[in-house]
Amino acid sequence: MHTVLISAEVSPFAKAGGLADVASALPRALSAIGVDMRVIMPKYRGIEAKTPLQEVARFPVEVGNNKVECIAYRGHLPGSDVPVFFLGNDYYFDRAQIYGEDGGDYPDALERFVFLSRGALKLCQELDWQVDVIHANDWHTALTPAYLRAGLGPRDARSVLTIHNLAYQGIFPQDRAETIGLNDEMLAPFRHSGKLNLLRGGIMRADYLTTVSPSYAEEIMISGEGLEGDLHSRRESLVGILNGVDYTVWNPQIDRHLWANYSTSDCSGKQENKKRLLSELNLEGNGPLVGMISRLAEQKGFDLVMASFERMLSLGITFVILGTGSQQIEKFFKRVAQKYPRNVAALITFSEQWAHRIEAASDIFLMPSRFEPCGLNQMYSLRYGTVPVVRATGGLRDTVHEYDATRESGNGFTFKEYSAEEMLASLRRAVALYSENPQGWSKLRARGMKEDHSWEASAKEYRDLYERVLATRA
């Protein structure tokens, strides 16, 4: 089985969110169970400092009426021999950010990702690869199933499109159609509500669709950002497979970003991390430390947090947030951090190291998402002994289960209705257990730490899916 996975982000080379983690961990997990994997991504600025690169091909890629030069380099995913191919074109990718610099996308986003999608398929041909499955991810590469059908890629390959977040669809004005370079028939499903919608076209053209949790797969067929009808029409070919955790990166026993390592059998290092974080950020910490690590986006439930922030603090918590994004949300957290310097810290930046430290140091991890395709941080939190408090939606619903004292079950605290009151109530339950029943808290924490959310099981589901896709080739 030969699969080529194409993604706009791949950790550790370029990351804006969970897509990068998946596009890195999944190929490694699939490779470990015998799938021959190759990964293709853009050669963004600074990649050469992260992995030795070897030039492997030069060829032109058609972007609209232009033939644009592509220089392809080979590297590999750290800790594995899975090759990564970087498509280079400095005009498109030698820029400060992955997607854009003021919150939005670069104005030539369509050209950049047409280049990636067409370039990736062309690379397969240039290097004469045998390819069974092209695995595209999100709107950036959602054109590849249509390009394949139009004969612009390896012959006989089938396509899988994974939707990591339906909220980002890649929508452009109709008059940009020429840039895509498909005939009217092929382009038809990309035309939607008077616009070009790349994800919608991919949904209609891919042989199989996956999304990143079973619950999200169900939810988006009912309420799917305007595409629910299309997704429902493809329900026979839509599968929800839960993302996993890369425990070589997210494991408190070996995590090199931490002040102290720890494990289920000896959690004293966790206390040490909390102490160090509090002192480093000049915080008081008599009660539980509540952490958040997130893109500062509406999706993540920040309106609930902002509406009830002072009531949250009155529960006796200390609060730390790491994130960047919406200016309004950034401003809010900067303001409360100034107002309550001993109880609130706001790290408005992107930092791998602080993400790991906050996971380790916090007692509670808050994720009140409005919607959440899968969510990774709640699973990281479980392994780090940080009890998740989440809204039961999408992947959060599939991975976090309400604590039950009598049955000694559950791994966190959840709420259903999207309201500040419900969020506060579940946070209150968590704080009460933490303060009043340390033994119960330790047991709850230990249960979460012992859970296994590794990629192994999910990688097998993807392999089975690839086999099903191939069976459609006959």
Which residues contact ligand ADP by CB under 6 A?
17-18, 21, 165, 293-295, 322-324, 350-352, 355, 374-377
Query: Please, are residues 45 and 33 in contact by the beta-carbon 8 Å criterion?
Result: no
Report d(CA 280, CA 278) in Å as an integer.
6
Query: Please, are residues 48 and 86 in contact by the beta-carbon 8 Å criterion?
Result: no
Q: How far is the CB of 356 from ligand ADP (least distance, A)?
A: 8
Query: Please, are residues 83 and 38 in contact by the beta-carbon 8 Å criterion?
Result: yes
Q: How far is the CB of 110 from ligand ADP (least distance, A)?
A: 22
Q: How far is the CB of 294 from ligand ADP (least distance, A)?
A: 5
Structure tokens at 121: 């398929």
Q: How far is the CB of 345 from ligand ADP (least distance, A)?
A: 13
CA distances to 166, 362, 421, 439, 445 from 426, in Å: 27, 17, 9, 19, 16
Query: Please, are residues 415 and 392 in contact by the beta-carbon 8 Å criterion?
Result: yes
438 preceded by cis ω (within 30°)? Answer: no
Q: How far is the CB of 65 from ligand ADP (least distance, A)?
A: 35
Report d(CA 452, CA 411) in Å as an integer.
12
Distance of CA 29 to the CA centre of its chain: 16
Q: How far is the CB of 383 from ligand ADP (least distance, A)?
A: 13
DSSP letter assigned to residue 156: T
Report d(CA 168, CA 89) in Å as an integer.
24
Query: Please, are residues 458 and 22 in contact by the beta-carbon 8 Å criterion?
Result: no
Q: How far is the CB of 162 from ligand ADP (least distance, A)?
A: 12
For ligand ADP, give the closer residue by CB, 269 or 373.
Answer: 373
Cβ of 459: how many Cβ atoms within 10 Å?
22
Report d(CA 118, CA 255) in Å as an integer.
38
Q: How far is the CB of 440 from ligand ADP (least distance, A)?
A: 27
CA distances to 74, 118, 176, 376 from 47, in Å: 11, 21, 30, 24
Report d(CA 322, CA 354) in Å as an integer.
7
Cβ of 446: how many Cβ atoms within 10 Å?
13
For ligand ADP, give the closer residue by CB, 298 or 422.
Answer: 298
353, with CB counted inside 10 A (0-12, 13-18, 19+), is exposed
The residue with its CB nearest to ligand ADP is: 18
Distance of CA 467 to the CA centre of its chain: 25
Q: How far is the CB of 393 from ligand ADP (least distance, A)?
A: 12
For ligand ADP, give the closer residue by CB, 280 or 352.
Answer: 352
Cβ of 245: how many Cβ atoms within 10 Å?
21
Q: How far is the CB of 230 from ligand ADP (least distance, A)?
A: 22
